[in-house]
Amino acid sequence: MYRSTIKPLLDFIIALIGLFLLSPIFIAFIILLFIANNGKPFFLQQRPCKNEKIFRIIKFKTMNDKKDSNGNLLSDSERLTKIGSFIRKTSLDELPQLINVLKGEMSLIGPRPLLTEYLPLYSEFQKRRHEVKPGITGWAQVNGRNSISWQKKFKFDVWYVDNISLLLDIKILILTIFNVLKSEGVNPKDTSTVEYFKGNN
C-alpha cells in the first residue's frame, strides 16, 4: 500500500510544495548559473529509472564547458565554478530534480539514478536497485554517500528496496538534512566528482 500508492502521492505533494517554497532560491541560482555557464544553468543527462527505463535527469550545472587549446574539455576541478562549488557542497544542485519527481520519473527517496553506461556492468543483485524509482536522496546517501565503495552503495540500495516503509523514508529525510548541513560525504577526499564505476571484476 505504501510503496504503490501512498509514497507516489506524498512524492508529488511534497515536491510541489517544495518547488513553490524554494522558488526564490531556484530563480536566483538560475540567474547566477546562467551568467557563470554562458547561458546554461541546467545539466541534463540520460539516466535509468524504475525497470531501467531511460529518462533525463535535471540538475543545476556546476561546471562550465571550458576547453584547452586542442578543443578538449578541461579537468572537472578546473571547470567547477565558484557558485557551482557552493551549490554542489550544499547539495542544492539536486534541487531541479523535484521536477523529475513531479513528472513521476523519480521519488524523493530511493537509490540514486546512475549513469546509463553502468547498466551492462551490474550483477543480478545490483540490478535490483532498479525495482523502484530512483530518488533525490537514499539509504546509501545517508550512510556515507560518495565516501563509501560502490559495493557498499549497492548493498545499501538493495536493502532499501527490500525494506521500504514510511518510517524508513522519514528517517532518511531527517538524516539527509543533517548530513547536508554538515556537508558530509559529498565527494571523496581531493576529488571534484565521484569515482567511475568499472564493474565487479
User: pLDDT tens digit string along 15-63?
Assistant: 999 999 999 999 999 999 999 888 999 999 999 999 999 999 999 999 9
Write down the domain spans for the chain.
2-182
Segment holding 189, helix H or strand E: none
**Bridge-partner residues for 60, per DSSP?**
42
Which residues are within 8 A (CB) of 43 and not within 5 positions of it... i.e. 6 or more apart?
A: 58, 59, 60, 61, 62, 93
Mean pLDDT of the chain: 90
- What is the CA 163 to chain-centroid distance, rounded? 21
Instruction: Using DSSP, state whether 20 is helix, strand or coil.
Output: helix
